[in-house]
A and B are shown apart, each in its own frame.
Chain A
């Protein structure tokens, strides 16, 4: 297809959803499932095919259209996988040595950054993001209001972003736009 083809722009627009589709797929299938990339590619190919065949009529946004395809494909994957696994169990997916080394390096960098923060920011990161307490629970533990928890957590994340740089946060790069 040439760049002058009217479908070219739409194909490019769909390709722009790779990051958000990949994120949703990894979240649903498990971060270490090696099949996430194949499933993502299938979703994007399906979206292109449906657009070309006229199934996308612009009644919803292109984002909602791709989201719908993504949800269905994930549901199919889980159903098919469950069927196969009844007959042939597989070991759980786990990270390879490179991924483990990368994760350990990220953990080391993050530890160094967290230790540079003031205690009030470390506390909020510990309770809200590490322990996974709700905003209300965190507020009760720290004697803050839930809004103060959101604000302080947001500022703590901003400080970490500054210390770690954008490359530390790969999932959201070029996301969906």
Chain B
């Protein structure tokens, strides 16, 4: 079967690498070309599932293990960076659902390393893949849609404060998400919500 001339653009489209006019042209094309649409949608499903599976799909790595030295360094950095710690008595405002045009993120989503899935013990920290040009990452850990902890860091990992870890209840599902911001404050990446559960 002859290959569609647009097929080569699918990868760049999904990675957000096409300039806006070309992106629109490709989208118009797949509205008219079932073969290109199927291939685009299928790759999209695959990439989303790979992001959900995380590094674990490629390596035997059940959960994030942070080096003890790193934990202390990160804890100090976190304190210095004035991490916001929220307790149930004074929950922080959840991040607003931002949708202004300048907040729309083009490009690949921020890939999470972990934790995800069922964990034997509360995770020591959260880890994600760095985004080029990111000056700061903002994290939110939520339970049933309510933020229970938010923080920011310039690193690609962050330690969960002991107080937050101690508040994680066995059997509950927590969801966390990280957003990357450039130095001027523009959001340049956002991860998928990632769920983990402690214990059974």
Q: Measuring CB to CB, which residues of chain A are less than 8 angstroms from any residue of chain B?
A: 17, 19-20, 23-24, 27, 31-32, 61, 63-64, 66-67, 70-71, 78, 81-82, 85, 89-95, 97, 100, 103-104, 106-108, 110-111, 114-115, 122, 125-126, 128-132, 134-135, 150, 153, 157, 160-161, 168-172, 175-177
Contact = CB atoms under 8 A, between A and B. Distances in A.
A169 B49 CA distance: 10
Given A91-B145, A150-B8, 14 more contacts: A23-B40, A27-B44, A31-B48, A71-B24, A81-B99, A82-B99, A85-B97, A92-B95, A94-B142, A107-B53, A122-B58, A129-B46, A130-B47, A130-B58
A106 B52 contact: yes
Contact of A130 (B93, B111, B146): B111
21 contacts: A19-B41, A64-B31, A78-B100, A78-B104, A82-B99, A91-B97, A107-B54, A110-B50, A111-B56, A125-B50, A125-B58, A128-B11, A129-B46, A129-B47, A129-B50, A130-B50, A132-B15, A132-B111, A134-B12, A168-B45, A176-B31
Given A82-B99, A104-B52, A176-B31, A171 B111 contact: no
B37 A23 contact: yes
B17 interface: yes
Contacts of A111: 53, 56-57
B92 to A, nearest CB: 12
Contacts of A129: 43, 46-47, 50
A81 B55 CA distance: 35
Chain B contact-residue range equals 35 or more
B75 to A, nearest CB: 27
Given A31-B48, A64-B31, A172-B37, A92 B42 contact: no
B32 to A, nearest CB: 4
A71 B44 CA distance: 20
Interface of B: 8, 11-12, 15, 17, 24, 27-28, 30-34, 37-58, 93-101, 104, 108, 111, 116-117, 129, 140, 142, 145-147, 173, 175, 177, 192-193, 195
A70 B32 CA distance: 13
Nearest to A135: B11
A132 B47 CA distance: 9
B198 to A, nearest CB: 14
B42 A169 contact: yes
A107 B49 contact: yes
B175 A67 contact: no
Contacts of B27: 24, 67, 71
Contact of B41 (A32, A63, A160, A175): A175
Contact of B45 (A115, A125, A170): A170
Contact of B30 (A114, A128, A176): A176
A90 B44 CA distance: 27
A65 to B, nearest CB: 9
A131 B145 contact: no
